[in-house]
Copies of this chain bind each other. A is one copy, B any other.
Amino acid sequence: MSAEFFQIRARDKQTHARQGVLTTAHGQIETPVFMPVGTAGTVKAIPHQFLEELEADVILANTYHLYLRPGPETIHHQGGLHRFMSWDRAILTDSGGYQVYSHRALRKINEEGVEFQSYLDGSFHFFTPEKAIQLQQTFAADIIMMFDDCTPYPVTESEARESMRRSMRWARRGKEVHCDQESALFGIAQGSVFLDLRRESLDRLAEIDLPGLALGGFGVGEPKLLMYELVERLNDLMPEDKPRYLMGIGTPLDLFYCVRQGIDMFDCVLPTRNARNGMLFTSAGPIRIKNARYRDDGEPLDPGCACFVCQRYTRSYLRHLYISGEIVSSILNTYHNLYFYLDLMNRIRQSIALNSLVELEADFRERYAEFA
């Protein structure tokens, strides 16, 4: 990787927040960044031109899902994931570690790797750290992730230690086979909620030359305050000059909190999945559009929002589309929720440069009631 993969442009004087830029072969990514999740090589319910309109600089795709379908041969045949998808902005692929974890009834782990059964057809597959990197190099994503053993919660300290140390051995093996200079390979720190283990994990990753670091194994059921505390403490342990990616997180308030602690990258299914379930983010907090109170409500979803959904449609119509099970409901809801997230991150980035992140967050919290 070029020495200029990540540059910090501004630091907020009141917090640990940084504003930077990641430079990839498929464009620059301003950080802190929220990456929409495009599991199967498509962000669900959103055609690419809408993502471009939303100025999504990077999307996330899943190695596990793409490996099972359409399979690496098909993607290789089309010349990589960018060409397969016809998406020429940046792509981050995760390694499959998290998916293997979340389908854990179907897996067997040993030192060599993980045997798992396909959720599609029950067929058996074996992922190793080497194979996960090779697959991601075949997909030719811009940012790729180590294959890790995502530790479940709750877990004993000794189990978490064993799992974390396995991930660290796998990280060394992954690094060995990484040979694509176009892709930035990120390490993933594990260690569950145990600070000493997290520290050990970061120490081990520091021994490997990696352009970025991720915190994995959060958002798996641990108390939120525990995650917040760990993110705060881990911030001090992570190298200043490398991007920090908090995987799978989170709510709008999570983003504020973790940006303040120095996190640069986020991904989460919340805006997209909740959209399809009719849970829509607004500046006053999330709402459930199916609620009867919206039946005859001629107001926009979020009167302060500039997205085309809020500019054009009423809550009454959006409720009707949702209740009727219309595909257009998923499209409009997803667009709005992604707009909400990406616009929020844009305002967060601007506020860092202006040293006003704390004020932005206070202003946001004043109106925003997190969904009970």
Residues of A that sit less than 8 Å from B by CB: 40-49, 69-70, 73-74, 77-78, 84-86, 276, 295-296, 298, 308, 312-314, 316-317, 319-321, 323-324, 326-328, 330-332
Contact = CB atoms under 8 A, between A and B. Distances in A.
Q: Which of A73, A86, A276 has the most CB of B within 10 A?
A: A86
A42 B85 contact: no
Given A320-B70, A327-B331, A331-B331, A312 B48 contact: yes
A313 B276 CA distance: 24
B86 A328 contact: no
Contacts of A298: 77-78
A295 B312 CA distance: 38
Nearest to A320: B70
A70 B294 CA distance: 12
Nearest to A50: B47
Contacts of A43: 328
For this chain, the copies found in one complex come to 2
A78 B296 CA distance: 7
B84 A316 contact: yes
Given A47-B332, A298-B78, A86 B314 contact: yes
Query: 6 closest Cβ contacts across the A-B interface?
Result: A45-B327, A70-B320, A77-B296, A42-B328, A40-B324, A86-B312
Contacts of A295: 70, 74
28 contacts: A40-B324, A40-B326, A42-B328, A44-B327, A44-B328, A45-B327, A45-B331, A46-B328, A47-B328, A47-B331, A47-B332, A69-B323, A70-B316, A70-B319, A73-B296, A74-B316, A74-B320, A77-B296, A77-B298, A78-B298, A84-B316, A84-B317, A86-B313, A86-B314, A86-B317, A276-B327, A327-B327, A331-B331
Nearest to A335: B47
A74 to B, nearest CB: 6
Contacts of A319: 70
Given A84-B317, A295-B74, A320-B69, A328 B49 contact: no
